[in-house]
Structure 1
Amino acid sequence: MRCLKMCNSAVTVVNAFATGKGGAVGIDLRVSAKVKLIDEGVGGEIRVRRERFEDFSLVKAVVETIKDKFGLDFGVKVRIDSEIPVGKGLKSSSAVANALTGAILGELKIELPDIEVVKLGVEAAKRAGVTLTGAFDDACASYFGDLCLTDNRKLELLKREEVEKKSVVLLIPEETVLTSSLKNKNFKVLAPYVEEAFRLALMGEWEKALVLNGLVYGSFLGYDLEPVAKALEAGAIAGLSGKGPAMFAITEEPEKVADVWEDHGEVLITTLR
């Protein structure tokens, strides 16, 4: 394995399901991707939180996207190590797509602007069926860090804003929700409320936006929002990440939030990045 690329997780500020416009902010959970070019095929090893992961569909989609883009023919052997739980709304697919795309391009000696690397990863995620909107907002926050607000339909980065590196508490329930299970949901009914959250985020009030977003989507998707209420009572800013079920809180007192969340699922503490 030669070329190594690292990318990170993110949490949702505004979910783009309803309007096509969304935002996310980077957090310090990492994915590393090492690749070696081979003549054909896709193989190697994927580990998620030290457990072997057998689904190579996203890896295959990244390889096919790059082959089609540049008219190349090659195979890869990969070693992917991820700290990000899968199917929890914590941008695991965006982070893997970013890291793997960057690593393969590096091994091929192809230089692209960072934003074009992100767009290739988004195209691969669409091919693999792991995103409804293209998740350009998630991919940008994963790749660049900070707050990223985007138009996912136009693949436009509308705003990137540096954020203070505060503590983030993650609540990870046992339940897993795959994006494919949401294809028949009519998220458009949420558009007026999500548009308001996006407006707040554009104006700089992204913490208010993420609370509003979490309450709107969390209610619509039928989640128990008691953990969000508890975090707010503890003085934190809290919301739902992506499609859930993971929730998160940004706080100066992470242990205080961790204490009130311990009965609701696994709790992790990290930071914004």
Structure 2
Amino acid sequence: MDGRASAPAAGTVLNALACGKGSAFAIDAETTAAVELDDSGEVSGEVAGAPDADTRLVERCVELAVAEHADSDALERLDAADPDGVGGAVRTDSEVPMAAGLKSSSAAANATVLATLDALGVADEVAREDACRLGVRAARDAGVTVTGAFDDASASMLGGVTVTDNRTDDLLAREEVEWAALVWTPPETAYSADADVARCRRIAPVAELVADLALDGRYGEAMTVNGFAFCAALGFSADPMVEALPDVAGVSLSGTGPSFVAVGERETLNAVRDEWSTREGTTWLTTTQNDGARTR
């Protein structure tokens, strides 16, 4: 009983750490998960190219997806009396750098949940929002997120740009967008679970303004305000943002960093790429993605 799925990375419009509301948009860089289920009762995980990576998140995704959606036919095929007897292996392979603010954890969780549902033969029967919430539960259980990251996860799972309330896991808005997207990722890493939450919450009034802008469809303005506020709160230089302005539609620190993402017209972003490419790290030009996660 094998399954495969992929899910895109995402960039930030509003970081949910400040006020509980968040917004993100899917970009065209993918994480793929392959899941093989068996009757071992234990789940093992592996990240391609990173033998020492923490695999608790993807393992928990398999466990929750099996617990919620393993029907009697699937259990019979696996010769398991109940979901606790189901185990297996999950392997993820990603174009998305880890701990870079580009939602690699959300993409891995979404791909793993969908691959598990694919292995169980029920991927087409489970609503994508519900599958997304399984990954969010797994992220909280694994301790890899402060907010639950429903904003990031929903953008990755559904595609386009989403606005969410992460306190209740409610999807407030979703819209398809057609932007070019420029990403600069420095060599440093930053884990969202290590962010100074108390300091981020001090900028909650600004975050509420950003949420209002996003819900009004003013995503570029929203992400730029978010970027300056969170650079200040998290101690990042806003110089990459200043270099991109005023020509781009929007630019922000992505997540809790260290990556920055700018959106707008490709020609404009090509000029910004020349500027950002002088910085240490990796600069790459891609597009938004509106299809979201999918089985393969």
Normalising by the residue count of structure 1, what TM-score does the alignment of the two structures yield?
Answer: 0.93
Distance 1:211 1:98, change over 3 A: same
Q: What runs of 5+ residues in structure 1 fail to find an aligned partner? A: none
- Report what 2:147 is aligned to: 133
**Alignment partner of 2:203: what SS?**
helix
**Structure having the higher Rg:** 2
Task: Indicate whether 1:162 and 2:163 are aligned.
Answer: no
Query: 1:63 Cα shift?
Result: 2.6
Q: 1:42 maps to which residue?
A: 43
Tell me the equivalent position of 1:262.
277
User: How many Å separate the matches in 1 of 2:23 and 2:52?
Assistant: 28
* Cα deviation code 1:7-36 (max 9, x no counterpart): 100101011101111110110000111111
CA distance in 2: counterparts of 1:112 and 1:218, whole angstroms: 38
| RMSD, matched Cα | 1.8
| Correspondent of 1:72 among 83, 92, 95 | 83
The CA distance in 1 between the partners of 2:214 and 2:146, in whole Å, is 22
Q: What's the counterpart of residue 223 of structure 2?
A: 210
The number of residues matched between the two structures is 270
Task: Please tell me the residue identity of whatever aligns with 2:228.
Answer: L
Distance 2:15 2:7 in 1: 21
Deviation at 1:44? 5.4
Identity %: 41
The answer to whether the aligner puts 1:122 opposite 2:136 as a matched pair is yes
For the Cα contact (< 8 Å) 2:17–2:197, is it kept in 1? no
Is the Cα contact below 8 Å between 1:148 and 1:159 reproduced in 2?
yes
Residue in structure 1 matched with residue 55 of structure 2 by the alignment: 56
C-alpha change, 1:60 and 1:201, in structure 2 (3 Å) is: same
Q: How does 1:1-273 map to 2 (within 5 A)?
A: 2-40=2-40, 41-43=42-44, 45-47=46-48, 52=51, 54-69=53-68, 72-73=83-84, 74-110=86-122, 111-164=125-178, 166-182=179-195, 185-235=198-248, 237-252=250-265, 253=267, 254-264=269-279, 265-273=281-289
Residues 61-113 of structure 1, C-alpha deviations (whole Å, 9 max, x = no match): 21332344456121122231111010011000000000100111121223311
Query: What one-letter code is carried by the residue in structure 2 that aligns with 1:30?
Result: E
Aligned partners of 2:220 and 2:249 also within 8 Å? no
Q: How far has the Cα of 1:187 moved from its partner?
A: 2.2
Deviation at 1:263, TM superposition (A): 2.4
1:185 partner SS: helix
Quick one: which amino acid aligns to residue 33 of structure 1? A
Shift of 1:52: 4.7
**CA distance 1:227–1:183, shift in 2 (3 Å):** closer
Whole-Å separation in 1 of the counterparts to 2:194 and 2:209: 26
Deviation at 1:251, TM superposition (A): 2.7
Supply the distance in 2 between the matched residues of 1:243 and 1:202 (Cα, whole angstroms): 22
Shift of 1:224: 1.0
Letter in 1 for 2:108: V
Kept in 1, the 8 Å contact 2:101–2:255? The answer is: yes
| CA apart distance, 1:258 | 1.0
AA of the residue aligned to 1:64: E
**Residue range with higher mean Cα deviation, 57-66 or 134-143:** 57-66
User: Are the aligned partners of 2:57 and 2:139 in contact in 1 as well (CA < 8 Å)?
Assistant: yes
State the shift of 1:234 in Å.
4.9
Give structure 2 stretches of 5+ with no counterpart: 70-81, 290-296
